[in-house]
Amino acid sequence: MVPHAINQNDTFYVAPWTRHREGLVLSLLQVEKRKHKWVPGEHNANKKCLSKVRAIMKKYHDVDIPLEAYLAKVREWNTRYSAFNWLLSQTNVQYHERLNYVNTSRARWTDLLLDNEFVQHYMNEGEVNWEMLRDLFRVVINLASDSTSFHVPMPENSSDNSSDDGGGNHRCEPPSYYASAAPDTGGSQTGESSYA
């Protein structure tokens, strides 16, 4: 198999999605996560978060995307997170965050593609929203209290509108109107564990 790259614009950003819209939605979902309303794998709670984000996007950005398209995008983001996380864990693979570029040999790409074809999307450029996807989909096992429970780490300075994590990664928060744009629908509900 001769490795060839897939253009992310042709697959990740098909109408109604653009890089800008995706970035806005991911930023809004990060706020929901800090409020403990977005939880990886919690379908019903996350569906409420997406409904709130959808209302904000419609009211303040004049973007009316159906809820089903948001749910499909979340499935895509989860796939992207899993594939890119896997790619970065492989030997002889380097990710240059500033350049958003994954570096490895052509022979190594061939081996990687045999194990995970989705990584073709990352041959020309890395995951532009890697920090946000990792923040939203990573689950950390908390071994301190109970090996079966999950703990989703919260940012240390969740009250700031923007912060630097010390590694030069700047995280920008959504506009201040976010908090009052859509009604709060209450706490999370447990239910299905996937978006299928």
CB contact at 8 A, 65 and 15: no
C-beta separation of 72 from 15 below 8 A: no
Q: Which two tokens stand for residue 25?
A: 């939605």
Closest CA to 13 of 52, 57, 65, 61: 65
Check residue 23 and give its pLDDT. Answer: 96
What's the predicted TM-score (pTM) here? 0.71
Give residue 75's Cα distance to chain centre. Answer: 10
Nearest to 161 by CA among 31, 25, 37: 31
Contact by Cβ (8 Å): 101, 8:
no
Measured in whole angstroms, how far is the alpha carbon of residue 177 from the centre of its chain? 22
The domain segmentation of the chain, as residue ranges, is 8-156
Q: Is the pLDDT of residue 194 over 70?
A: no
pLDDT digits (tens, 9 = 90+) for 3-24: 678 999 999 999 999 999 999 9
> pLDDT tens for residues 135-182?
999 876 656 655 444 444 433 433 334 444 444 443 444 444 444 444
Rg, Å, the chain Cα set: 18
For position 143, what pLDDT does the model report?
63
- Alpha carbon distance 94, 102 (integer Å): 6
